[in-house]
Amino acid sequence: MLKSQVLALRLLWRNWRSGEVRILAGSLVLAVAVVSCISVFTDRLESALTAQSHTFLGADRVVRSSQPIPSDWQVLADKYDLRTATKTQFASMVFAGNEMHLAAVKAVSDAYPLVGELTVSQQPFVTDKSLITVAEGGPPAGEAWVDSRLLPLLQIQLGDQIVVGEKPLTATRVIVDEPDRGSSFSAYGARLLMNEADLAATNVIQPGSRIGYGWLVAGDENNLESMLAELAPKLTSHEKVVDVESAQRGLARTLDTARKFLMLSAMISVLLAGVAIAIAARRFANRHVDQVALMKSLGAGCSSIRQLYGIQLLVLGVLASVIGLGLGVLLQEVIASGVSSILPVALAAPRWTSMLPGILTGLVCLVFFVAPPMWHLPTVPPLKILRRELAVNSVSFYWQALLGLLAMVVLVAVFSGDWWLSSSIILAMLALLLLVAVFASILLGLGQRLGRRAGSVWRLALASLQRNSRQSVVQMMVFALALMLLLSLTSLRTTLLQDWKLQLPPETPNHFLLNITPSESPQVAELMEQQNLNVQQLFPMVRARLTHINGEEPSEDIRKQAEMLRREVNLSWSDRLNSDNNVVAGEWWDHWREPGIAGVSVEAGAASDLALELGDDITFDIGGLTLEARVASIRTLKWDSMNPNFYFLLSPGALDEFSPTYLTSVYLPPEKKPFINQLLGRFPTVVVIEMDRVIAQIQAIVAQVSSGVELMLGLVLLGGFFVMWAAVGSSMEDRMQEAALLRALGSSRHRLLGSLWIEFALLGLFSGVMAAAGSEILLLSIQYWVLDIPLSFHWGIWLWGILGSALLVGTLGVLSCRKVISTPPGLMLRELS
Amino acid sequence: MLEAQTLSKQVTTAAGTLTILNEVSLCVKAGDSLAITGSSGSGKSTLLGILAGLDEPSSGQVKLHQHEITALNEERRAKVRADHVGFVFQSFQLLPGLTALENVMMPLELHGVANARGKAEFFLTRVGLNGRLHHYPKQLSGGEQQRVAIARAFASEPDILFADEPTGNLDSETGAHVIDLLFELNREQGTTLVLVTHEQRLAEHCRQRIRLEGGKVIERKPCEAA
Q: Where are the alpha helices (DSSP H) in A340-467?
A: 356-364, 371-374, 397-416, 419-453, 456-467
Percent of chain A with pLDDT over 90: 9
Best of B54, B64, B83, B105 to disrupt the A interface by mutation (most A CBs within 10 Å)?
Answer: B54
B114 and chain A in contact, CB less than 8 A: no
C-alpha to C-alpha distances, A39 to A153, A336, B191, nearest whole angstrom:
51, 13, 62
pLDDT of residue B226: 37
In a domain? residue B43: yes
Answer whether B78 sits within 8 Å of A296, measured CB to CB.
yes
Contact list, B96 vs chain A (CB under 8 Å): 18
Q: Where are the alpha helices (DSSP H) in A505-580?
A: 521-530, 556-561
- CA-based max dimension of chain A: 110
Mean pLDDT along residues A670-698: 75
A385 and chain B in contact, CB less than 8 A: yes
Which of B78, B80, B95 is the closest to A300 by Cβ?
Answer: B78
Contact A597, A530 (CB under 8 A): no
Contact A706, A500 (CB under 8 A): yes
Q: Provide the shortest C-alpha distance from residue A744 to chain B (in Å).
A: 19
pLDDT of residue A183: 44
Instruction: Write the single-letter amino acid at B91.
Output: S
Give tens-digit pLDDT for A262-305: 666 777 777 777 777 887 888 888 888 888 998 888 888 888 88
Residue A85's DSSP bridge partners are: A216
Quote the radius of gyration of chain B (alpha carbons, Å). 17
Nearest residue on chain A to B84, alpha-carbon basis: A299
- CB under 8 Å to A721, separation ≥6 — which residues? none
Q: Give φ, ψ of A581 to 5 degrees.
A: -105, 150
Sheet with B192-196, strands from edge to edge, namely B85-88, B160-164, B192-196, B33-38, B208-213, B216-221
> What is the rounded end-to-end Cα distance, in angstroms, of chain B?
13
Number of H helices, E strands in chain B: 7, 10
Mean pLDDT along residues A41-61: 73
pLDDT of residue A59: 83
CA-based nearest residue to A262, from A367, A332, A318, A320: A332
Q: Give φ, ψ of A438 to 5 degrees.
A: -65, -50
* DSSP reduced 3-state for A100: strand
pLDDT band at A326 (very low <50, low <70, confident <90, very high): very high
Rounded CA-CA distance A118/A158 in Å is 18
pLDDT of residue A794: 81
Rounded CA-CA distance A377/A394 in Å is 8
Least confident range from A198-212, A245-259, B27-41, B92-106: namely A245-259
In a domain? residue B30: yes
Asked if pLDDT for residue A49 goes beyond 70, the answer is no
Domain that holds residue B140: 2-221
- CB under 8 Å to A794, separation ≥6 — which residues? A491, A775, A776, A779
B145 and chain A in contact, CB less than 8 A: no
- CB under 8 Å to A103, separation ≥6 — which residues? A91, A92, A93, A94, A146, A150, A164, A189, A190, A191, A192
Burial class (CB in 10 A: 0-12, 13-18, 19+), A33: buried
Contact A251, A243 (CB under 8 A): no
Mean pLDDT along residues A66-71: 85
Give tens-digit pLDDT for A135-152: 888 899 999 999 887 888
pLDDT of residue A123: 86
pLDDT of residue A160: 92
Q: Give φ, ψ of A162 to 5 degrees.
A: -125, 135
Asked if pLDDT for residue A18 goes beyond 80, the answer is no
Q: What is the Cα A195 distance to its own chain's centre?
A: 39
Computed over every residue of chain A, the mean pLDDT equals 80
B49 and chain A in contact, CB less than 8 A: yes
Give tens-digit pLDDT for A237-260: 778 887 766 655 556 666 666 666
Nearest residue on chain B to A379, alpha-carbon basis: B74
Interface of A with B in 294-313 (CB under 8 A): 294-304
pLDDT band at A725 (very low <50, low <70, confident <90, very high): confident
Best of A292, A294, A390, A832 to disrupt the B interface by mutation (most B CBs within 10 Å)?
Answer: A294
Answer whether A831 sits within 8 Å of B138, measured CB to CB.
yes
CA-based nearest residue to A176, from A151, A157, A148, A153: A148
Mean pLDDT along residues A355-370: 85
Rounded CA-CA distance A463/A760 in Å is 12
A733 and chain B in contact, CB less than 8 A: no
Instruction: Write the single-letter amino acid at A692.
Output: D
Best of A18, A287, A297, A309 to disrupt the B interface by mutation (most B CBs within 10 Å)?
Answer: A297
In a domain? residue B124: yes
Q: Counting every residue, how long is chain B? A: 226
In a domain? residue B55: yes
Contact A730, A476 (CB under 8 A): no
Nearest residue on chain A to B48, alpha-carbon basis: A386
Asked if pLDDT for residue A732 goes beyond 60, the answer is yes
* DSSP reduced 3-state for B96: coil
In a domain? residue B132: yes
Cα three-residue angle A634-A637-A641, rounded to 5 degrees: 165
pLDDT of residue B225: 42
Rounded CA-CA distance B49/B40 in Å is 15
Q: Provide the shortest C-alpha distance from residue A304 to chain B (in Å).
A: 9
Which of B75, B81, B97 is the closest to A297 by Cβ?
Answer: B81
* DSSP reduced 3-state for A81: coil
Query: Between these two residues, A712 and B136, which has the higher pLDDT value?
Result: B136
pLDDT band at A438 (very low <50, low <70, confident <90, very high): confident
C-alpha to C-alpha distances, A399 to A75, A373, A577, nearest whole angstrom:
63, 10, 59
pLDDT of residue B134: 92
Question: Between A and B, how many CB-CB pairs are < 8 A?
Answer: 80
Best of B46, B80, B95, B136 to disrupt the A interface by mutation (most A CBs within 10 Å)?
Answer: B95
Number of compact structural domains in chain B: 1
Give tens-digit pLDDT for A471-506: 788 778 878 887 887 787 778 777 777 766 666 666
Contact list, A290 vs chain B (CB under 8 Å): 93, 95
Cα three-residue angle B29-B34-B40, rounded to 5 degrees: 150
Q: Provide the shortest C-alpha distance from residue B110 to chain A (in Å).
A: 7
Query: Between these two residues, A553 and A594, which has the higher pLDDT value?
Result: A553
Q: Provide the shortest C-alpha distance from residue B154 to chain A (in Å).
A: 12
pLDDT of residue A698: 67
Give tens-digit pLDDT for B69-118: 889 888 888 888 888 898 888 888 888 888 999 999 988 888 888 888 99
Rounded CA-CA distance A189/A649 in Å is 25
- Is the Cα dihedral A186, A189, A190, A194 positive or negative? negative
B204 and chain A in contact, CB less than 8 A: no
Q: What is the Cα A392 distance to its own chain's centre?
A: 49
pLDDT of residue A564: 78
B113 and chain A in contact, CB less than 8 A: no
Query: Between these two residues, A114 and A466, which has the higher pLDDT value?
Result: A114
Least confident range from A171-175, A178-182, A514-518, B203-207: namely A178-182
Contact B37, B44 (CB under 8 A): yes
Percent of chain B with pLDDT over 70: 98
A286 and chain B in contact, CB less than 8 A: no
Give tens-digit pLDDT for A743-767: 777 777 777 788 888 888 888 888 8
Q: Provide the shortest C-alpha distance from residue A387 to chain B (in Å).
A: 8
Rounded CA-CA distance A482/A101 in Å is 64
CA-based nearest residue to A130, from A121, A117, A143: A121
Residue B17's DSSP bridge partners are: B12
Residue A602's DSSP bridge partners are: A634, A648
Q: What is the DSSP string of B20-34?
A: EEEEEEEEE-TT-EE
Computed over every residue of chain B, the mean pLDDT equals 87
Answer whether A7 sits within 8 Å of B110, measured CB to CB.
yes
In a domain? residue B99: yes
CA-based nearest residue to B1, from B34, B24, B45, B23: B34
pLDDT of residue A590: 80
In a domain? residue B226: no
Quote the radius of gyration of chain A (alpha carbons, Å). 35
pLDDT of residue A580: 78
Contact A642, A504 (CB under 8 A): yes
Nearest residue on chain A to B49, alpha-carbon basis: A383
Rounded CA-CA distance B105/A233 in Å is 79
Which of A3, A19, A385 is the closest to B89 by Cβ?
Answer: A385
Q: Provide the shortest C-alpha distance from residue B96 to chain A (in Å).
A: 8
Determine which helix (DSSP H) or strand (DSSP E) holds B6, and give its type and residue range: strand B2-13
Contact B174, B143 (CB under 8 A): yes
Give tens-digit pLDDT for A153-194: 888 999 999 999 889 999 999 998 887 765 444 445 678 999
Q: Provide the shortest C-alpha distance from residue A475 to chain B (in Å).
A: 26
Answer whether B49 sits within 8 Å of A303, measured CB to CB.
no
Asked if pLDDT for residue A84 goes beyond 50, the answer is yes
Contact list, B109 vs chain A (CB under 8 Å): 3, 7, 10
CATH assignment of the domain containing B198: 3.40.50.300
Q: Provide the shortest C-alpha distance from residue B107 to chain A (in Å).
A: 6
Asked if pLDDT for residue B164 goes beyond 60, the answer is yes
Answer whether B98 sits within 8 Å of A386, measured CB to CB.
no
Contact A182, A693 (CB under 8 A): yes
Contact list, B79 vs chain A (CB under 8 Å): 299, 301
Best of B110, B139, B171 to disrupt the A interface by mutation (most A CBs within 10 Å)?
Answer: B110
pLDDT of residue A187: 44
Residue A137's DSSP bridge partners are: none
Rounded CA-CA distance B223/B210 in Å is 10
Q: Give φ, ψ of A219 to 5 degrees.
A: 155, -165
Asked if pLDDT for residue A344 goes beyond 70, the answer is no
Mean pLDDT along residues A715-740: 72
Mean pLDDT along residues A575-590: 84
